Amino acid sequence: MRQMRIDKRFPKHLSKQSERNKMPDRKEILEELKTSIETWDVQKAVDATNMALEAGIEPKDIVNDGLGQGMADIGRRFDAAEIFLPQVVAASKTMEAALKILGPVMSAGDSAMKGTVVMGTVEGDIHEIGKNVCCAMLRGAGYNVIDLGCDVTSQDFVDAADENEAFVIGGSALMTTTLEAQREVVEYVKETESPYKTVFGGAPCSRAWCEEIGADGYSETAADLVTLVDSLRGA
């Protein structure tokens, strides 16, 4: 009787299943994180974040090399008018969903939130769209943002910074008549000897103006603001 030949190799169907269940590598996971933000896909962000933790990727790398890269792309696309405020907000909320997962596993030195920023449109000005985009971008970049809305007084800015242990105050002005309110914020911070950095932006605002009034920085776009605030951490 002819003996049956036994194939000791791994069964094909199990091999395929193994391939399907194989954990993606680090590069693939980080790309998935980035894509989840770019497509404002909350479920994908949650799944990719959990997968990244399971794969042993450090939380700070998940934020900086994955989620943060996606948010940076959102900023570039917004500046190029390829997407608009609703998409920026959706991407920011997607980022926040991922950060909620990372919060409990972050070490004290790697807090999911980089710090607190107080934002608002300065006194006398009621325009909020640009400020809202900046708030969304900062949240997406990992900052805790206290949005005071519009027509915010210098005292309100400082009081909110005191109450929330912020390190930066950001004020937007969309009218030339309200630029002076930015100067007033800087002067009030100095008069009260408050430790906060002041940054400003808005259509009539400029780098030269911010230097003239003694602000700590000027931002032309929301993406620039994230870079600026990053540079002021620990400064």
pLDDT digits (tens, 9 = 90+) for 9-19: 434 443 444 44
pLDDT digits (tens, 9 = 90+) for 51-102: 999 999 988 788 878 988 898 888 889 888 999 989 988 998 898 898 888 8
What is the number of alpha carbons within 13 Å of residue 41 lying toward its C-beta?
14
Clarify whether residues 119 and 224 are in a common domain. Answer: yes
CATH number at residue 84: 1.10.1240.10
Clarify whether residues 193 and 123 are in a common domain. Answer: yes
Residues whose CB falls within 8 Å of the CB of residue 79, separated by 6 or more in sequence, listed in order: 221, 222, 223
Q: What pLDDT shows up at residue 9?
A: 46
pTM of the model: 0.67
| Number of Cβ within a 10 Å radius of residue 222 | 24
Mean per-residue pLDDT over the chain, rounded: 86
pLDDT digits (tens, 9 = 90+) for 122-158: 999 998 878 888 888 888 788 899 999 999 999 999 9
Clarify whether residues 145 and 82 are in a common domain. Answer: no
213 pLDDT band, cuts 50/70/90, is: very high
Domain membership of residue 16 (yes or no) is no
Domain membership of residue 171 (yes or no) is yes
Clarify whether residues 63 and 119 are in a common domain. Answer: no
Check residue 193 and report its DSSP letter. T
Residue finishing a domain among 62, 79, 109? 109
Domain membership of residue 4 (yes or no) is no
160 pLDDT band, cuts 50/70/90, is: very high
Q: What pLDDT shows up at residue 180?
A: 97
Q: What pLDDT shows up at residue 100?
A: 83
Q: What pLDDT shows up at residue 235?
A: 57
CATH number at residue 197: 3.40.50.280
Pick the more confident residue, 3 or 31.
31
Clarify whether residues 41 and 133 are in a common domain. Answer: no
Residue finishing a domain among 66, 90, 109? 109
Clarify whether residues 129 and 153 are in a common domain. Answer: yes
Clarify whether residues 173 and 133 are in a common domain. Answer: yes
Q: Which domain holds residue 75?
A: 24-109
Domain membership of residue 11 (yes or no) is no
31 pLDDT higher than 70: yes
Domain membership of residue 13 (yes or no) is no
Q: What pLDDT shows up at residue 223?
A: 81
Count of the separate structural domains present in the chain: 2
Clarify whether residues 190 and 215 are in a common domain. Answer: yes
Percent of the chain with pLDDT over 90: 57
